[in-house]
Each structure stands twice: as structure tokens, then as C-alpha cells.
Amino acid sequence: MAEPAVEPSITRRALFVAAPASGQGKTTVTAGLAVALRRRGQRVAVFKTGPDYLDPDILAEAAGSPVEPLDLWMAGEAYCGRRLFEAARTHDVVLVEGAMGLYDGVPSSADFAARFGLPVALVFDCQGMAQTVGALAAGLAHARDDLSVAGLVANRVGSQRHADLIAEAMPADISFLGAVARETDIALPHRHLGLVGADEQGTDLAERLARAADCVETTALPDAPRDVAFAPFATAVPERLLAGRRIGIARDAAFSFAYAANERLLEDMGATLVAFSPLADTRLPDVDALWLPGGYPELHAERLAANHAMHAALAAFHASGRPMLAECGGMLYLQERLTELGGTTHAMMGLIAGHGIMRERGGCQGMQTAPLPEGDIRGHAHHRTRTEAGPVPIAHGRRARHPAPGEPIVRDRGLTATYLHLFFGANPPAVARLFGAATI
């Protein structure tokens, strides 16, 4: 029997946008670069490293196509490599935005860029410093020898003289790609979990992205992407373990934190996804299982509390014992009460015990594995609430790099509830069982 054909590598221009820390303007610069390249008639694929629901929505507006988060720990090297390869097939340029600082986390943005041979463009918020930028850039660029730094963009620069001082102090082997002025109104609005969603910004987002592209076009950044050879990675084709099953997914302004990759996997396994709105609908669709992903229930708690018809529909579904998965915001909605930042408390579903309370700061972030009876599924936590008087969990998440117990996991009849956001591709058979597939 003949061996299967091996796909050749594909060479495309690519760039990894990184920074020394969060809040430096990576997303604004990446989005502006995507728009600037599209103005040149180039097809641009954009990815975001690390688990993220908000930045990809903004970047998708700039790229004109969906943006997927990629994480080496949560999704795996083969998955990330395959998605990059598939993007290179159909695009002229591949952009990847890093997470936090270049070396933060294990694996870090630097690990990702080095693994796939992506040249790095550094974005620095230069308020309050000038020549020091060169020294810091040299430290980032030379901390390891498997990174290639394409140059540096100075963000939030106060004047031409400020930009000149930074440029003059750059190491000889790091290009100064240009500066973005401090007074330019391009910064993207934030709230407690990150950027304000693309849907909420409306036409203002398009205007900000256009201004960001105008700024980027005054720099050398559009010419910074370099040729990268993207190698093929074999990934398993999921079995159709959910063939014929209909899964209802909560999808509205309160519940929007669902990875497109998770939805795609369910469909690849044969499921039909049916969206419904806990905010607006009064009944559930005819489905075999429910998925309530995370989002911002705390911003819509009054409306959620007032939709008693949906409460009754969800209670009846839960009583039937059919599978339900509630992640983070979905879990908060199913608890007894939810208190906003201002102190107002609203009655929620009451399907499980617990009082979710927003807090001004703190919270939980980080990678964890959910040890479910169906199998281990990797995911992450990202929330600004605490839960009081919750039920006894069946298990706790296992942190990737810390021995302390992670997020509690609750099981009641067919309902599984947790703060964790699961990445379904980490264990498709376990996910299929979670949504009611026959024993595998």
C-alpha cells in the first residue's frame, strides 16, 4: 500500500507581536497592522496566544475573518501548528499576538514564537522613559538565542524628539520600526475582564481601527513580517460520537465566551448546535443537551433575574437529567444569587447552591485540568467573582504548575458546573461523553 502523501511546507510572511507586559498596546497595534495590510490588498490571518475570548473578537474585526486563540499547553503543539499551516494555505500574511509579557507564563509567548520560527515585533509603552527602552529591548531580544526580533514599535510617544531619543538608543541589531503618538485616540476600551467586546463598541470600533491603521502606516511595521516556513502537523479526525444529537448553546450579550474551536469540534463530532438566549427567550429549543458558556451575567443580572419563563424551562430541563455544562458565567447564572460590583443582589436560577459576588480586584486566572468522571479536559480560569456557600464539589481542577486545589467542579444529576472554561479539543471523547454520547 502506498504511503500517504506528505504535505509540503508553505512559506508565508509572518510576525509575532509581543511586549514586555500587558497593557502596552499589543492588541491595538496588531489590529492596526491587520487593517493596514488589508489596505494593501493582502489577505491577513490573525491569531492570539493564550486563552482569550475578548481580544480575538476585536482582532477579527480588523482581520475581516475569525480569529482563534492558540495555546501550547491547553491545545497542544500539533493543534497550534496545524491551525497556523491551514492559515498559511489561504492567506498572504500570518499575524500572532502574544499574551502578557514576552516571557510570562509556561509556556510563554517566547516559547510559541520560537517553536514556530516567528519573528517578533516588540511593542513598548514608552511613557516615562526614553533611552531605557533600548536597554530593555536588548534584554528581551537576547535573553534566549532561539528568538528573532524584527524590531520595536514605540507606543504612546510624546513628541518627535522623544521618538528620536528612543531610536538613537536602540541596539544595532534591533530595528526601530517607528513610533505611535501618545495623543492619538486609538486605545481600545477596557472593563474588569479585559477589552470591551466588539459588538458593544459598534461603529466606534471601526473608527478606532482605522485610526490605528493610519498610525501603523507611518511606521515600518507593515514591512516587518518575514518569510516563515509553516510545516504541516497531522491531527486526528474526530469520531462522530455526537451524531444526531442536538446541543443548545446560550448565546447573547450575557453568554459569549465560547471558543469557535469548541463549537467546530462538536459539529465535527456530528452534533447540531442550536443557539438560545437566556436574556430574551422564554423557552428552550428542542435539544438533547445544554451548554451555558461564560460571559458577563453580572452586567445583565437584572434582566436574567426577571426572565422567569426561562428559569422554569431550565429547571425542567435539569429535572429531566439531561446533560448540562455550565462554565463560569453560566455557573453563576445557575446559582442562587449574584451580587454586582455596586452591591445590588439579584436572584438567579437556584439550580445549585451558591452566591456569586463580584469583587473590585483579584480573582483567578490560570491553566487547570478538569478531572471529570468522563475524563480529564484541559482548560483555564478567568473570573472576578467569588462563590460563597456553594455545594460540595465532586473534584477540583488541577493547576498546571501549582499543587493547591484549583476550581471546584459541581455535579448534580446531568449538570456539570465549574468556573473553568474547557478546551474541548484537549479530549474529544470525554467531551462527547459529557454531552451525552453513548459509553465509548
Alpha-helical segments (H) within 307-407: 308-319, 329-334
User: Among candidates 119, 99, 121, which has minimal Cα distance to 109?
Assistant: 99
Measured CA to CA, the distance from residue 421 to residue 423 in angstroms comes to: 7
Q: Which helix (H) or strand (E) holds 93?
A: strand 93-97
Residue 327, strand partner residues: 418
DSSP 340: -
C-alpha cell at 271: 452534533
Asked whether the beta carbons of 64 and 246 are under 8 A apart, the reply is: no
User: Among candidates 326, 345, 321, 323, which has minimal Cα distance to 278?
Assistant: 326
Cα diameter, the chain: 70
Asked whether the beta carbons of 63 and 97 are under 8 A apart, the reply is: no
Amino acid occupying residue 391: P
**The length of the chain, given as a count of residues:** 440
Instruction: Centre a 10 Å sphere on the Cβ of residue 3 and count the other Cβ atoms it contains.
Output: 5
Cα 47 vs. chain centroid, distance in angstroms? 9
Active-site residue flag, 80: no
Alpha-helical segments (H) within 102-159: 109-115, 132-142
Measured CA to CA, the distance from residue 68 to residue 56 in angstroms comes to: 6
Residues 350, 355, 360, 361: what is their CA dihedral angle, to the nearest 10 degrees? -110
Measured CA to CA, the distance from residue 179 to residue 196 in angstroms comes to: 25
Active-site residue, from 80, 126, 215, 328: 328
- Our CA angle for 406, 407, 412, nearest 5°, is 135
What is the set of active-site residues? 328
